[in-house]
């Protein structure tokens, strides 16, 4: 099983060592990562806040993209912060659960394509919805990311947001995860937190599932309100 997660616009600063692109998983994406990084660095600093949709409070984050090759690295699951990653709370997980994350969690990225949870990455700023001059992100990543996901041969639980699904749809037979209230109302803020909590539960129980039915059986065993939707997808009730 692979759980596909979106990244986060907010990121933890700091890290240890210098970022090494060769240390990342999914080596089939290396060339496209170099192309995306080069396109990002070509955006003039004066224009970067507008291109990256940064406000006055976080305009300084545009400089992160100038320091990709020299910046300190953190594992992706620790670099990303925000609501989903608060729910996951990877830093507080025991070593065995952290190993589960690295084996089963894949994080989408507009800059890196796909990342394993432990892949060491620098600070950067680029969202999946950014109109990056000279490089349409959807066309750049779509086929390569989809192929890389399919090449794992694993059943996929897709918990990404729409912007990142567009950068590389999961193979047929994957399950897309929605989060709703018991009354069927879709959520936003709590959607992300619930997804993080679900991944935390999967990691701490060492879940193994090769199909939707197997994941539903796990959910029933551990009292997780996960339900089938249609022929393939899943709904998490909160």
CA distances from 214 to 49, 122, 209, 219 (A): 45, 36, 5, 9
pLDDT of residue 16: 86
pLDDT at 190 (0 to 100): 82
Burial 64-92 (b: 16+ CB within 10 A, else e): bbeebeebebbbbbbbbebbbbebbebee
Low-confidence ranges of the chain (pLDDT < 50): none
Element (H, E) at 137: helix 137-151
pLDDT at 187 (0 to 100): 64
Q: How far is Cα 66 from Cα 47, in angstroms, rounded to an integer? A: 13
Residue-wise pLDDT tens digits, 91-109? 999 999 999 999 999 999 9
User: Model-level pTM greater than 0.75?
Assistant: yes
């Amino acid at each position: 099983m692979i759980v596909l997660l979106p990244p986060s616009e907010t990121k933890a600063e700091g890290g240890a060592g210098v970022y090494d692109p060769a240390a990342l998983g999914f080596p089939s994406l290396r060339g496209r990562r170099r192309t995306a990084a080069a396109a990002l660095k070509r955006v003039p600093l004066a224009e970067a806040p507008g291109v990256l949709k940064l406000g006055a409070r976080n305009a300084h984050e545009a400089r992160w993209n100038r320091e990709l090759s020299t910046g300190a690295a953190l594992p992706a699951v620790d670099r990303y912060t925000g609501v989903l990653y608060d729910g996951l709370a990877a830093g507080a997980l025991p070593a065995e659960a952290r190993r589960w994350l690295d084996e089963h969690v894949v994080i989408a990225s507009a800059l890196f394509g796909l990342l394993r949870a432990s892949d060491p990455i620098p600070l950067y700023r680029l969202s999946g919805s950014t109109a990056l001059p000279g490089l349409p992100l959807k066309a750049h990543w779509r086929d390569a990311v989809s192929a890389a996901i399919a090449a794992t041969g694993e059943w996929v639980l897709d918990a990404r947001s729409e912007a990142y699904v567009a950068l590389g749809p999961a193979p047929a037979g994957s399950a897309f995860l929605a989060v709703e209230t018991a009354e069927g109302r879709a959520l936003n803020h709590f959607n992300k937190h619930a997804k993080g909590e679900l991944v935390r539960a999967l990691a701490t129980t060492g879940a193994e599932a090769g199909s939707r039915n197997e994941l539903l059986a796990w959910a029933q065993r551990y009292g997780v309100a996960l339900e089938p939707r249609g022929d393939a997808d899943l709904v998490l009730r909160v």
